[in-house]
């Protein structure tokens, strides 16, 4: 069974794009049942909602990762002078030791 999916967003006027997917009979029946039970107008609306949920889950995961990443970050501007001074000190030490990359 082949189902055409029409992606359309109610929030904004967006050009719709039609995509076709192929499902075996069992999955097609499941999709039809889910669309009916979920009060979707059709299977295309059901799939569009699944895709929006998947996209939102990725966004939520990214936001969580970023939030956790900034928890330990120092507040305020970067200590540029300190970074430059440490870099120069390391370079001087490397020159004294005649360090060469492997």
- Torsion region of 7: left, alpha or beta (phi above 0 gives left; psi -120 to 50 gives alpha): beta
- Rounded CA-CA distance 38/48 in Å is 13
Is the pTM for the entire model greater than 0.75? Answer: no
Q: What is the pLDDT of residue 25?
A: 96
Low-confidence ranges of the chain (pLDDT < 70): 1-13, 102
- Torsion region of 98: left, alpha or beta (phi above 0 gives left; psi -120 to 50 gives alpha): left
Question: Could you count the other beta carbons within 10 Å of the beta carbon of residue 5?
Answer: 20
Q: What is the pLDDT of residue 86?
A: 93
pLDDT tens digit string along 27-55?
999 999 999 999 999 999 999 999 999 99
């Amino acid at each position: 069974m082949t189902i055409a999916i029409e992606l359309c967003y109610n929030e904004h006027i967006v050009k719709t794009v039609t995509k076709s997917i192929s499902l075996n009979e069992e999955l097609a029946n499941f999709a039809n049942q889910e669309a009916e039970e979920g009060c979707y107008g059709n299977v295309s609306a059901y799939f569009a909602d699944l895709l929006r949920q998947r996209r939102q889950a990725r966004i939520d995961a990214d936001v969580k990762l970023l939030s956790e990443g900034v928890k330990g970050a120092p507040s305020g501007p970067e200590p540029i002078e300190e970074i430059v001074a440490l870099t120069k000190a390391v370079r001087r030490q490397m020159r004294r030791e005649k360090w060469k990359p492997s």
